[in-house]
Amino acid sequence: MRGERTGLFEIVVEPNARRRRPRRALSQKKRAATLFRIWHGMRELLDEAEQLGESELVHFLAVAQMLVEEKAATISVGAAFEGIETGLPN
């Protein structure tokens, strides 16, 4: 069985030749705003996973949400979530 093709296919990803210049890094303020939007999106996904009763997905999303919170807390502009109502998305 070794060496035989079993119907698997290979995906080849080539670099985008049309992109001419590399992306610039975001400012700290824009990074904080982006992380905050990601955090709210993760909350919505978490709510939907809870409604579906998918406990493993809920756990995965909760861990990912905590990682986003930790990353946002390390931004030097100040804590991204400090003084902001995080209960509902804007």
Q: pLDDT tens-digit profile of 51-70?
A: 999 999 999 999 999 999 88
Q: In the numeric block, which tokens belong to residue 76?
A: 């030097």
Question: What is the reported pLDDT for 76?
Answer: 53
Whether the predicted model's global pTM rises above the 0.85 cut: no
The total domain count for the chain is: 1
Question: What is the reported pLDDT for 49?
Answer: 94
CA pair distance 15, 22, nearest whole angstrom: 12
Task: Say if 62 falls within a structural domain.
Answer: yes
21, burial (CB in 10 Å: exposed 0-12, middle 13-18, buried 19+): exposed
Task: Say if 5 falls within a structural domain.
Answer: no
Range of the domain at 44: 28-73
Task: Say if 36 falls within a structural domain.
Answer: yes
Task: Say if 1 falls within a structural domain.
Answer: no
Tell me the per-residue pLDDT of 18-44, one tens digit each, with 9 for 90 and over: 666 777 887 888 888 888 899 899 999
